[in-house]
Amino acid sequence: MNLDKLKQAEAKFFNMYPGGFEHPEMVAIGKKHKMNKMITAVQEEFSEDQFENPRSIVQTMSKMISRSSMVSLFEKPKFRDFINSLHNQHETILAHGLKEMLHGNQEQGFNMMLDVLITGKMAKWSLISALPVYHKPFEEVFVKPTTAKGVIQQFELESLVYKPRPSWEFYKEFRSIINEMKSKVDSRLAPNNAAFTGFLMMSLNQ
């Protein structure tokens, strides 16, 4: 990680938006994303005691993805149709995978979800990382391909090699580095991890 470049990006951001994400313009952008509302909804809908009915869980997954401003409009209807096409076994695996990802063995859960998404050509970074970052907004990370590739290059994250197909190894390392980078800057740049990666994305254009 190139700490000098990170500190330069921090200085530029504060120069443009004094107060970081507390700046009125950033607050307005935050409201459009409805982050707090989404965090509350995902934490409630996917609390550990909600996972008794796999079909209900996967339908709720579809509903939450459709509401997420982080997932592209192009992917939302495809994901909805994919969820509606799942047979019972894949519904069960996908629901159990999400439960493990949020509450148990994360690597196992990630790979279970990935295995099901692959069957419908839906193995997209946005679809596999959106719900976890709402569920644990200060720990998990949202992986947006263009941002991830840009951040790796700009900040010289040499341990990371981006690939379009999601993998636990990349996610785990990306998450670790993002949380480390977050610890190096003013807390007003990171009201949550999604906002922090938003700051990194915006710094790529400067």
User: Higher confidence at residue 206 or residue 185?
Assistant: 185
Query: What would the pLDDT profile of 15-42 be if each residue is shown by its tens digit?
Result: 988 888 888 888 877 777 788 899 999 9
Provide the whole-model pTM. 0.91
Q: What are the tokens at 125?
A: 């970074």
| Residues 200 and 177 sit within 8 Å (Cβ to Cβ) | no
Q: What are the tokens at 186?
A: 């003013």
Residue 87 vs residues 45, 108, 171: alpha-carbon distances, Å: 22, 21, 28
Residue 159: closest CA among 168, 169, 150 = 169
Query: What would the pLDDT profile of 108-141 be if each residue is shown by its tens digit?
Result: 999 999 999 999 999 999 999 999 999 999 999 9
Instruction: Count CB atoms within 10 A of the CB of residue 48.
Output: 9
